[in-house]
């Protein structure tokens, strides 16, 4: 397979990646993201059903109108429980996995380290509320807390190293039977972790700090929208770029939550279109919904539907193909968490470039097309879960120009992703993180 990488740049990128993959922290990040895949997969299916069929503004929510209220709410409850306890809980799983992997690598009691890390994250996210006795700041436990949870897990793994003995030889795994012995070895790091976590969670207003970047940027994004086309273009690109990078880290930017209800510029456009019965000539061509939500989010943040197509098109790697097939359905409806953790895309230096590049290129192309009036801007609001490639078509009330442009830009995005899929494949061939078990034999 070596012969296909004749391009020196590709070779260079592969070598660089292989070197980055040797960094322990990076390995833990990638390994952990892979571990949460099954839960992200189930969660993303459940979330898709919630958004598309059960949500108030969902694409097919009129299909469920025939259900009686009781039955509807019962079904709604079931899916909300599944989504909340998988996707909404994913960081607890990640903390466990990261600590377990780290502790195993450092030859400490990995199971207890994992459990301690999960516990620690829950303590940090605990709300001291007198009304509801057991509740948590949900923001820290979902995808948004992923990076923090993994770093926490690694820290706790190291804490086990610093404050407890080496766990006895692997072959005496009778250790698992001798709970008292294990307690004796690991009680100190567990206790330290709990104490630190309690102090942190009591002193630090977790919700405030976890929302702080969002609060600031939202304030920036919603105050004094400029009426100058160039400035509003700059602003849409800036905030779009910020949102994409944040999504790559599992966080969210001002555009991540979907179309802004109170966005005045979109309201103006809609107002115009309703009065003139056409989207052509709407006053604000370059706002978040005409550029970002319409052309930068095929399949979710980072235009990951293009990644799926790229993989299905050129990849020979069975894991990649399988993950893409499994996450195809949720991705069509813009839920990409399964794909993000299964490939993995989260924190993956290979995919960082196309993840940012593909949406930005789409937005640039769309800006040109809009500027030269090759298509009308998407001004009508589309239902939640409308497949990415259809947003422009439906948002312009069925403009064929917009649909043709979408197909074209999706193709461009796919081409952007293809070389990186090949690089990722090659890297995986030489150093597969997914089969890495942790422990001494990795350190060759």
State whether residue 316 is helix, strand or coil. Answer: coil
Q: Using CA atoms, how far apart are residues 433 and 427, in angstroms rounded to an integer?
A: 10
For 260, what's the count of Cα atoms within 13 Å in the CB-facing half-sphere?
Answer: 20
Count of residues interacting with other proteins (CB under 8 A): 60
Task: State yes or no: residue 56 binds other proteins (CB under 8 A).
Answer: yes
Specify the length of the chain in residues: 444
Binding mask 265-294 for other proteins (x = CB under 8 A): --x--xx--xx-------------------
What gap in Å lies between CA 440 and CA 110, rounded to an integer? 13
Question: Closest CB to other proteins among 264 and 371?
Answer: 264
- Least separation in angstroms between CB 218 and other proteins: 6
The span of 59-67, 142-150, 156-164, 186-194 binding other proteins (CB under 8 A) equals: 59-67
Q: Is 68 in the site for other proteins (CB under 8 A)?
A: no
Residue in 75, 151, 198, 321 binding other proteins, rule: CB under 8 A:
321
439 binds other proteins (CB under 8 A): no
When binding is defined by CB under 8 A, the residue of 174, 180, 203, 261 that contacts other proteins is: 261
Tokens in use for 97?
Answer: 């996995």
Report the C-alpha gap between 71 and 91 in whole angstroms: 31
134 lies in the site for other proteins, by CB under 8 A: no
Q: Categorise residue 178: left if φ over 0, alpha if ψ from -120 to 50, beta otherwise.
A: beta
Q: How far is CA 232 from CA 109, 165, 238, 269, 367, in A?
A: 54, 59, 10, 14, 12
Q: How far apart are CA 262 and CA 260, in angstroms?
A: 6
Q: Which of 186, 389, 416, 433 binds other proteins (CB under 8 A)?
A: 389
CB of 70 to other proteins, least distance (A): 11
Tell me which stretch binds other proteins (CB under 8 A): 22-30, 258-266, 344-352, 357-365. 258-266
d(CA 74, CA 72): 5
The C-alpha atoms of residue 286 and residue 404 are separated, in whole angstroms, by: 19
User: Where do contacts with other proteins occur on this chain (CB under 8 A)?
Assistant: 1, 3-4, 6, 56-59, 61-62, 64-65, 69, 72-73, 76, 129, 131, 215, 218-219, 222-224, 254, 257, 260-262, 264, 267, 270-271, 274-275, 308-309, 311-316, 321, 324-325, 328-329, 332, 380, 382-383, 386-387, 389-390, 393-394, 397-398
């Amino acid at each position: 397979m070596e012969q296909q990488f004749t391009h020196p740049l590709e070779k260079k990128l592969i070598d660089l990646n292989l070197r980055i993959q040797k960094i322990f922290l990076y390995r833990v990040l990638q390994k952990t993201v892979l571990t949460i895949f099954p839960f992200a997969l189930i969660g993303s299916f459940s979330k898709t059903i919630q958004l598309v069929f059960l949500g108030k503004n969902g694409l097919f929510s009129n299909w469920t109108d025939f259900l009686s209220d009781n039955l509807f709410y019962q079904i709604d409850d079931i899916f909300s429980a599944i989504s909340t306890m998988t996707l909404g809980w994913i960081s607890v799983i990640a903390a466990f996995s990261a600590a377990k992997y780290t502790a195993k690598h450092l030859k400490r009691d990995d199971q207890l380290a994992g459990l301690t890390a999960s516990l620690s994250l829950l303590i940090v996210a605990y709300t001291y509320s007198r009304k509801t006795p057991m509740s948590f700041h949900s923001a820290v436990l979902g995808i948004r807390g992923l990076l923090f949870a993994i770093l926490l897990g690694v820290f706790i793994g190291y804490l086990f190293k610093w404050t407890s003995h080496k766990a006895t030889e692997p072959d005496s795994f009778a250790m698992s039977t001798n709970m008292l012995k294990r307690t004796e070895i690991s009680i100190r790091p567990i206790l330290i972790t709990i104490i630190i976590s309690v102090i942190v969670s009591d002193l630090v207003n977790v919700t405030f700090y976890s929302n702080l970047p969002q609060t600031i940027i939202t304030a920036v994004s919603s105050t004094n929208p400029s009426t100058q086309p160039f400035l509003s273009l700059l602003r849409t690109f800036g905030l779009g770029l910020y949102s994409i990078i944040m999504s790559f880290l599992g966080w969210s930017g001002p555009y991540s939550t979907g179309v802004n209800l109170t966005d005045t510029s979109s309201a103006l456009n809609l107002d115009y279109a309703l009065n003139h019965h056409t989207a052509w000539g709407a006053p604000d061509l370059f706002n978040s919904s005409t550029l970002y939500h319409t052309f930068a989010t095929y399949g979710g943040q980072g235009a990951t539907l293009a990644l799926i197509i790229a993989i299905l098109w050129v990849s020979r790697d069975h894991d990649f193909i399988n993950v893409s097939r499994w996450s195809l359905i949720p991705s069509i409806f813009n839920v990409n968490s399964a794909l993000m953790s299964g490939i993995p895309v989260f924190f993956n230096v290979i995919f960082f470039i196309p993840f940012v590049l593909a949406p930005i290129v789409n937005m640039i192309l769309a800006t040109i097309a809009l500027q030269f009036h090759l298509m009308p801007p998407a001004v009508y609001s589309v239902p939640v879960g409308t497949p990415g490639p259809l947003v422009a078509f439906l948002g312009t009330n069925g403009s064929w120009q917009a649909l043709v442009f979408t197909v074209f830009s999706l193709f461009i995005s796919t081409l952007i992703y293809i070389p990186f899929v090949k690089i990722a494949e090659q890297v995986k061939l030489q150093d597969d993180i997914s089969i890495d078990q942790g422990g001494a034999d990795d350190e060759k």
